């Protein structure tokens, strides 16, 4: 019987390297594949990452290949990123990177080349779930809750999960580092990547400025009083503290002190940034659209848990359907609920699906 053939996405980092090692150790026919999606600008380390991925493949003695998805990544991820910010949204490009590139184009390529599955270094866990009337694939939080990346994977469905492998789901990060060191992987001590998927650790404001220009406008409080000036509503995110110019007249009202304000809304049409403080910055509910489910619309309106940002707290919630959208009532009011970000739903440790906050 032939071994299952797995294409492992080798990013050049320690997580994907250990994933490839673990699969080879388990007897799979492993091939390392490096995806080139972005190779420009400050913060980009594409050349080094490609070299590190090759070194890992050589150390593991596995075949190695490179796929160039730069055109598709720009069209499907980066252009949408800029377009959404221009609309006043705060998008999450890592969600699209996973659904469009890693578990979209990479998976399609792997299937066409005869691979049984693809694997990545995500901290998540895929399980086959046996139920009375069906067998399905479930996506669960990993052992290492601090590294949990299920939030970015909520758009994966049965087709993708049936062909996906996440070898690190049952490991903690410290264990992964230890394995890499013990088996002599050349990236054992390499720092984790930060920032936008494939782009790297960049200053978001600077990155946006490459395409979106300054457009000065008023900063107002929730009563409409002018607080100061901003450089362009797209350079700010909901929940952000400060970062704009406060007028001298407004400061006088507070004895010369600058009060602690947070962004609560972005009025793109009128080029206004709305700020508030205290209770004004919290929301008790949110509307979620463009919903995607791992296997069915299984979320219970009576109760589930929701996460509104990567690494954020899991909050108890209830849902109410409104056509194709769902209003989510939060058990605890939250600050920084940003339109364009993802709201992801869980039952216990299982991810059910998610959507975009409106």
Q: Which residues are annotated binding-site positions for ATP?
A: 9-16, 35, 121
- Is 97 part of the annotated catalytic residue set? yes
Marked catalytic residue, from 97, 156, 196, 357: 97
d(CA 236, CA 242): 9
Q: Please answer whether residues 82 and 74 qualify as being in contact, where contact means their C-beta atoms are separated by less than 8 angstroms.
A: no
For the record, the structure tokens of 94 come out as: 């890592």
Give CA separation, 85 vs 40, 79, 151, 207, 305, in Å: 20, 10, 20, 11, 27
Cβ atoms within 10 A of the Cβ of 88, count? Answer: 20
Q: Please give the helix or strand (H or E) that residue 345 lies within, else none.
A: strand 342-347
Marked catalytic residue, from 197, 227, 273, 288: 197
For the record, the structure tokens of 329 come out as: 């009532």
d(CA 306, CA 313): 8
- Is 197 part of the annotated catalytic residue set? yes
d(CA 190, CA 173): 13
Q: Residue 54: beta bridge partners?
A: none
Which residues participate in the annotated binding site?
9-16, 35, 121
Which are the catalytic amino acids? 97, 197
């Amino acid at each position: 019987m032939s071994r299952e053939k797995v294409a492992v996405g080798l990013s050049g980092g320690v997580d994907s390297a250990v994933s490839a090692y673990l699969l080879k150790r388990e007897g799979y026919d492993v091939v390392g594949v490096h995806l080139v999606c972005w190779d420009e600008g400050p913060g980009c380390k594409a050349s080094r990452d490609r070299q590190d991925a090759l070194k890992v493949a050589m150390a593991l003695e596995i075949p190695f290949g490179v796929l160039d998805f730069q055109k598709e990544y720009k069209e499907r991820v980066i252009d949408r990123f800029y377009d959404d910010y221009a609309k006043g949204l705060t998008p999450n490009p890592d969600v699209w990177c996973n659904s469009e590139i890693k578990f979209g184009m990479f998976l399609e390529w792997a299937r066409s080349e005869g691979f049984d599955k693809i694997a990545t270094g995500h901290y998540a866990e895929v399980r086959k779930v046996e139920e009375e009337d069906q067998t399905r694939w479930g996506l669960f939080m990993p052992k290492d809750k601090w590294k949990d990346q299920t939030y970015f994977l909520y758009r994966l469905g049965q087709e993708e999960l049936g062909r996906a492998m996440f070898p690190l789901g049952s490991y903690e990060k410290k264990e992964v580092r230890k394995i890499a060191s013990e088996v002599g992987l050349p990236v054992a001590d390499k720092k984790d990547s930060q920032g936008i998927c494939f782009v790297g650790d960049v200053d978001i404001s600077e990155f946006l400025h490459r395409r979106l220009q300054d457009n000065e406008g008023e900063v107002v409080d929730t009563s409409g009083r002018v607080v100061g000036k901003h450089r362009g509503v797209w350079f700010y995110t909901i929940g952000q503290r400060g970062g704009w110019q406060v007028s001298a007249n407004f400061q006088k009202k507070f004895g010369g002190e600058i009060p602690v304000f947070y962004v609560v809304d972005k009025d793109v049409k009128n080029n206004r940034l709305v700020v508030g403080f205290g209770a004004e910055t919290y929301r008790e509910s949110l509307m979620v659209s463009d919903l995607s489910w791992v296997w069915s619309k299984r979320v219970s309106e009576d109760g589930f848990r929701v996460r509104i940002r990567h690494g954020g707290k899991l909050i108890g919630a209830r849902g109410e359907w409104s056509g194709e959208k769902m209003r989510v009532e939060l058990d605890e009011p939250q600050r920084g609920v940003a339109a364009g970000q993802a709201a992801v739903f869980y039952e216990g440790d299982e991810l059910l699906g998610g959507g975009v906050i409106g």
